[in-house]
Amino acid sequence: MELKDATLFRQAALVGGDWIEAGDNGIAVDNPATGEIIGRVPNLGAAETKAAIAAAEIAQKEWAARTAKERSVILRRWFQLMMDNQDDLGRILTAEQGKPLAEAKGEIAYGASFIEWFAAEARRVYGDIVPGHQKDKRILVMKQPIGVVAAITPWNFPNAMITRKAGPAFAAGCAMVLKPASQTPFSAIAIAILAERAGFPKGLFSVLTGSARAIGGEMTASPVVRKLTFTGSTEVGAELYRQSAPTIKKLGLELGGNAPFIVFDDADLDAAVEGALIAKFRNNGQTCVCANRLYVQEGVYDAFAEKLSKAVATLKTGNGLDEGINLGPLIDESALAKVEEHVADALSKGGRVVAGGHRHRLGGRFYEATVLADVTPAMAVAKEETFGPVAPLFRFKDEADVIAQANDTEFGLASYFYAKDLARVFRVAEALEYGMVGVNTGLISTAEAPFGGVKLSGLGREGSKYGIEEFTEIKYVCLGGI
């Protein structure tokens, strides 16, 4: 890999301030665009997790004792180092994840923005003084760091899913033990190297690579870990929830979605097509906020299908390191198989391909950008997240009909709709049972806003002024004898 600073690509994990090299027995990480092995990371387990948690416990107390401004300065430096190394971090990300380099660099800027935002928020963790209930008493409410935090993150945003958790955790005065996804550990390791350079104290941030079950098992069993923050599948999230019950941990869960994207007949169709391209095809359809079901009102259905198909035909699929690529490969074979199954299922039940519909001629893990028409609720795409470049178009009659269809899912993360009528905008935004609603936009994620879902999509919010509260405990102090 050609990097300006080659030391940012390191085949090692960081445990309690000490680096453990991978050696030949480490876990191989490949480039999904080529299948080539790009490097190895250590295969760690329960013992190293225990050591990292013990080091975090010590480091956290000293970190929390610093002033908010001292923490803020170090976090701000970390943000700056990420931006100074944006190009290298983007290259590492594309090599292990596959997304186009421009998108990878965009993720670095987006990821770093959480560190920037929470560096500032560190200084605003305000408490309250509440009017007392007796003359001689005063009621104080203070917010303190929750303590040692464990984080488990996925492969679709190898940088930003970490920073969105690490930013508020460190800002609040917590320590963090992280297990990144085994498909994309090098982005996590690179930012840990930059954390050291920014002046993080030893042991405050550990990055453990290896067995998810062993590391996750130790993280959830430990009474020292007071919060577990996880982004990934609902299935694994529920398992971690169960495992965390005996130690009554606070949980932050960002799980699966099944986002509806609704186009009403009063929508600006060109804007809706542009939004659909972003909401559906960003990261090759592999984000938990990706539009999974596109509902289009009868009167504009054919026109929208045609415009979207034309736009999709201009998207270029290929190796993310090549110029002008819009869509990379899928992460692995099973992701590809799921996309194929969903398309086959839709076609067998009366669906119709209007663009794409096959594995890409490039072979490997590439799939064509696809648009399906005449999709119905009986098809798999209606219920499950496809997590690939397939846009299924459902038809609907009126507002009540589409709200019922959109809410008919056990998930509730992101939702989108395009409409101009102001009253309709309010009605629909209020009726959608989702944690997030994009109105006339396909892009909603930002450090300033609270990200999160309802129902099987998770617990808690990340980003925004609310995000830092997830990493604090409220303490009430009753002052008597005044």
Pick from 317, 323, 319, 276: nearest CA to 296: 276
Do 367 and 389 contact (CB within 8 A), yes or no?
Answer: yes
Stretch touching ligand ADP by CB under 6 A, among 6-14, 157-165, 233-241, 309-317: 233-241
Q: Residue 292 — left, alpha, or beta (φ > 0 → left; ψ -120 to 50 → alpha)? A: alpha
Which member of 145, 232, 458, 463 binds ligand ADP (CB under 6 A)?
Answer: 232
Helices (H), 122-159: none
Helix (H, G, I), strand (E, B) or coil at 146: coil
Identify which of residues 45 and 201 has a Cβ nearer to ligand ADP in the complex: 45
Helices (H), 181-259: 185-198, 212-221, 234-244
Q: How far is the CB of 170 from ligand ADP (least distance, A)?
A: 20
* Whole-Å CA distances, 344 to 290, 350, 379, 385: 21, 10, 10, 15
Q: How far is the CB of 442 from ligand ADP (least distance, A)?
A: 21
Stretch touching ligand ADP by CB under 6 A, among 12-20, 185-193, 236-244, 337-345: 236-244
- Catalytic residue of the set 254, 385, 462, 470: 254
Sheet architecture: strand order including 259-263:
352-355, 370-375, 390-396, 291-297, 259-263, 414-418, 436-439
Identify which of residues 127 and 217 has a Cβ nearer to ligand ADP in the complex: 217
Structure-derived torsion over alpha carbons of residues 287, 289, 293, 299, reported in degrees to the nearest 10: -130
Do 453 and 436 contact (CB within 8 A), yes or no?
Answer: yes
Question: Count residues contacting ligand ADP (CB under 6 A)?
Answer: 14
Q: Which of residues 265-284 bind ligand ADP (CB under 6 A)?
A: none
Identify which of residues 152 and 305 has a Cβ nearer to ligand ADP in the complex: 152
The torsion angles phi and psi of 287, rounded to 5 degrees, stand at: -130, 155
Which member of 43, 80, 233, 405 binds ligand ADP (CB under 6 A)?
Answer: 233
Binding pattern for the stretch 343-382 against ligand ADP, x by CB under 6 A and - elsewhere: ----------------------------------------
Identify which of residues 91 and 179 has a Cβ nearer to ligand ADP in the complex: 179
Pick from 284, 337, 370, 342: nearest CA to 33: 284
Task: List Cβ neighbours of 430 (8 Å cut-off, separation of 6 or more).
Answer: none
Task: List Cβ neighbours of 394 (8 Å cut-off, separation of 6 or more).
Answer: 293, 294, 295, 296, 375, 376, 377, 382, 405
Q: How far is the CB of 286 from ligand ADP (least distance, A)?
A: 9
Give yes or no for residue 5 binding ligand ADP (CB under 6 A).
no
Identify which of residues 174 and 240 has a Cβ nearer to ligand ADP in the complex: 240
Identify which of residues 72 and 229 has a Cβ nearer to ligand ADP in the complex: 229
Give yes or no for residue 388 binding ligand ADP (CB under 6 A).
no
Q: How far is the CB of 126 from ligand ADP (least distance, A)?
A: 34
Q: How far is the CB of 189 from ligand ADP (least distance, A)?
A: 14
Q: How far is the CB of 233 from ligand ADP (least distance, A)?
A: 3
Which member of 74, 162, 236, 382 binds ligand ADP (CB under 6 A)?
Answer: 236
Q: Which of residues 178-217 bind ligand ADP (CB under 6 A)?
A: 179, 181-182, 212-213, 216
Q: How far is the CB of 207 from ligand ADP (least distance, A)?
A: 12
Q: Residue 406 — left, alpha, or beta (φ > 0 → left; ψ -120 to 50 → alpha)? A: alpha
Q: How do strand 390-396 and strand 370-375 relate by DSSP bridges?
A: parallel
Assess whether 254 carries a catalytic annotation.
yes
The torsion angles phi and psi of 341, rounded to 5 degrees, stand at: -60, -45
Identify which of residues 234 and 297 has a Cβ nearer to ligand ADP in the complex: 234
Q: How far is the CB of 13 from ligand ADP (least distance, A)?
A: 14
To which residue do tokens 């102001």 refer?
A: 422
Give yes or no for residue 29 binding ligand ADP (CB under 6 A).
no
Pick from 172, 81, 45, 129: nearest CA to 476: 129
Burial of 242 (0-12, 13-18, 19+ CB in 10 A): exposed
Identify which of residues 12 and 81 has a Cβ nearer to ligand ADP in the complex: 12
Q: Which of residues 127-166 bind ligand ADP (CB under 6 A)?
A: 152-154
Helix (H, G, I), strand (E, B) or coil at 216: helix
Pick from 188, 163, 200, 164: nearest CA to 59: 200
To which residue do tokens 């939702």 refer?
A: 415
Q: Which residue is nearest to ligand ADP (CB)?
A: 216
Identify which of residues 51 and 335 has a Cβ nearer to ligand ADP in the complex: 335
Stretch touching ligand ADP by CB under 6 A, among 82-90, 122-130, 232-240, 366-374: 232-240
Which member of 239, 345, 374, 469 binds ligand ADP (CB under 6 A)?
Answer: 239
- Catalytic site residues? 254
Q: List residues near ligand ADP by CB under 6 A.
A: 152-154, 179, 181-182, 212-213, 216, 232-233, 236, 239-240
